Chain A
Amino acid sequence: MNRLAFGRLVNTQTVALVGVLLLNWLLFPGFFKIEWQDGRLFGSLIDVLNRGAPVAILAIGMTAVIATKGVDLSVGAVMAMAGAVAATLVVAGYPTALAIVAALAVGLLCGLWNGILVALLDIQPIIATLVLMVAGRGIAQLITEGSIVTFSDPALIFIGTGSLFGFPMPVVIAFTLLVLVTLAVRKTAIGLFIEAVGVNRSAATLAGIRSRLLLIVVYALSGLCAAIAGLIVTADIHGADANNAGLWLELDAILAAVIGGTSLLGGRFSIAMSVVGALIIQAMNTGILVSGFPPEFNLVVKAGMITLILVIQSPFSSQFMNWLGRRNRGAAR
């Protein structure tokens, strides 16, 4: 049983993550050094977890959406909106708890809106969520009036820069969310329902799954995840930057899900592997920062690595490996 659990941990994603981390270590020998400083862990590896947390949280929601054969392009804009709402409320003197609840409610509402467009009006997900992707950032800019709303509320800042058991709060939040959502989809039938709707929505509906409700719930989860990520990035810089918060992160979240082996055609997903995918992306970012590459190479290096990972994962290469395996066995005989 233990061997089985361990075996499931060794797959393309985890091998890729370890590979990227080892590469970083080769480029920067101090990469794995972790110190205890001011009551918290401090080191490049912690940076990977901490900086990767917002995209990991987005990826949790995104994976569920993609598993239903959908996509949520609005998460970056929802992040900006949630951050803008929280920051303007605390600056206006409202209690922190209210600001946080309001920001989460905004995310939930945005998710419900997306879900209703997709599930009830049958608009294609890419179009339905594009609406909020474009409009959401504009709304965020309206809320902040185009400037960075800076705040000094310690409770809100704690979400972004505080620490619990030595780990940065974003990591704790992402991990908690990962455990909760994984339990929800794997210990109940919800995961199976999501897969069924993703494979064939009509068949799932005929089989008695309330696919409309399920879709709305899934998009609402994605909106909620985006709001949490938005709170984290806003708290991290002590300010709501409506122009830049979450900009293009929807693409990173989709990429994380794809690296994690979730099929864009729906039906096959793994939340945990999507989080590993997010960490792979962040490990590359952090690696570039500590290795001292000139910035002109950033995107080329990232593109090269991602291409390599995706090629390794492709059906072609698994067929090729099978063929190679058969041939070797044939030769041994």
Chain B
Amino acid sequence: MTYFKKLALAASIATALSSSAMAADMTIGFSQIGSESGWRAAETSVTKQQAEKRGITLKFADAQQKQENQIKAIRGFIAQGVDAILVAPVVATGWDDVLTEAKEAKIPVILLDRGVDASQDLYLTSVASDQVKEGKVAGDWLVGAVKDKDCKVVELQGTVGSTPAINRKKGFEEAIAGHNNISIVRSQTGDFTRSKGKEVMEGFLKAENGGKGICAVYAHNDDMAVGAIQAIKDAGLKPGTDILVVSIDGVPDIFAAMVAGEANATVELTPNMAGPALDALAAYKKDGTVPPKFIITESKLYTPADNPQGEYDARKGLGY
């Protein structure tokens, strides 16, 4: 009996200690995948900004696209006794051991931007976008923009088999389903890159009667859209007018294209995954509020009506 009392006392002291710790003097470890894309670089700088805004000390570890480096970094964070760990996991599998270690050390873990195949009680929450919804928002915009007119769409897919490519395709198809005037006539992979986006669009333009049959291009990311815009211009057509351009991500260069009237819509994949994560963490640390397991970020649509110049300026310094 006394043993249990002691244990209860120890537990209550521990709770009192942890709850008394203000958000201001928290130290958080952040294990980032690496810098494989501009978006990822922006996520890193926004995470640092968000931590600084809240007076949190952020320990940053770049894994250079290797899971073993991430696991090492997380073990390092546990050894240093940080207050929480943010992880953007490079792959979905193989996290059980290290997450269990964090759980045993009573350090909450929050997943950013990607999920893991591990038991849900091993992490506090995961903050990510809904990729199917991103595709759907893009498709809904097109449905609204063309109204009853016939519209042949060409699609620039992401890397074949990658999750965002599958989901963004699915969402777009859901949005245009039931609108018989809109059809996807050609769909190919541009590997999420500018140069492949341009090359594939060149092919599409030739194949569809010099582009005269194409009403819109839907790209799974902005970089491919930027490449496609150049291809449309080279073919002597006006992107944004002759061929509508809709894409996903919200990188600065697509806003620059919008300013020039060459892009029509983009769905933002916010690099601010850390903001909601740190808010949830602060609430959890304050009074033990357990956040939902999946926090979905907003998939906001931007069109030339949303001050693209301002959006460009706001994003330019983030490292995109």
B311 CB within 8 Å of chain A: no
Contact B195 A241 (CB under 8 A): yes
A290 CB within 8 Å of chain B: yes
B202 CB within 8 Å of chain A: yes
B234 CB within 8 Å of chain A: yes
A153 CB within 8 Å of chain B: no
Contact A28 B207 (CB under 8 A): yes
Complex partner residue of A243 from B37, B189, B196, B203, CB under 8 angstroms: B37
Complex partner residue of B41 from A51, A147, A245, A292, CB under 8 angstroms: A147
Contact mask for chain A residues 242-261; partner B; CB cutoff 8 A; 1 contact, 0 none: 01110000000000000000
Complex partner residue of B198 from A237, A245, A288, CB under 8 angstroms: A237
> Number of contacting residues on B, CB 8 A?
38
Stretch at the interface among A66-74, A178-186, A199-207, A294-302: A294-302
Contact mask for chain A residues 145-166; partner B; CB cutoff 8 A; 1 contact, 0 none: 1111010000000000100000
CA A161 – CA B198 in complex, angstroms?
A: 12
- A264-318 interface (Cβ within 8 A of B): 285-286, 288-292, 294-296, 298
Interface size class of A (residues with CB under 8 A): 35 or more
Complex partner residue of A148 from B196, B203, B235, B253, CB under 8 angstroms: B253
A237-B227 contact given A43-B206, A295-B189, CB 8 Å threshold? yes
A141 CB within 8 Å of chain B: yes
CA A292 – CA B207 in complex, angstroms?
A: 9
Dominant SS at the B interface?
helix
- Chain B residue contacts of A141, Cβ below 8 A: 35
- Chain A residue contacts of B198, Cβ below 8 A: 236-237
With most chain A CB atoms within 10 A of its CB, the pick from B206, B236, B253 is B206
A148-B187 contact given A239-B194, A241-B194, A286-B203, CB 8 Å threshold? no
A237-B207 contact given A148-B223, A292-B186, CB 8 Å threshold? no
The chain A residue sitting closest to B165, CB to CB, is A295
Contact A51 B199 (CB under 8 A): yes
Contact mask for chain A residues 8-46; partner B; CB cutoff 8 A; 1 contact, 0 none: 000000000000000000001010000101100011100
- Chain B residue contacts of A35, Cβ below 8 A: 210
Shortest beta-carbon distance, B194 to chain A, in Å?
A: 4
Contact mask for chain A residues 206-235; partner B; CB cutoff 8 A; 1 contact, 0 none: 000000000000000000000000000100
Contact B193 A241 (CB under 8 A): yes
- B28-50 interface (Cβ within 8 A of A): 35-38, 40-41
Contact B38 A146 (CB under 8 A): yes
Contact B195 A245 (CB under 8 A): yes
Given contacts A239-B253, A244-B196, A291-B207, 10 further A-B contacts (CB under 8 A): A28-B207, A30-B207, A51-B202, A147-B320, A150-B253, A237-B227, A241-B193, A285-B199, A289-B199, A295-B157
Which B residues are within 8 Å of any A CB, using their own CB?
35-38, 40-41, 157, 160-161, 186-189, 191, 193-196, 198-200, 202-204, 206-207, 210, 223, 226-227, 230, 234-236, 253, 256, 319-320
Which A residues are within 8 Å of any B CB, using their own CB?
28, 30, 35, 37-38, 42-44, 47, 51, 141, 145-148, 150, 161, 233, 236-239, 241, 243-245, 285-286, 288-292, 294-296, 298
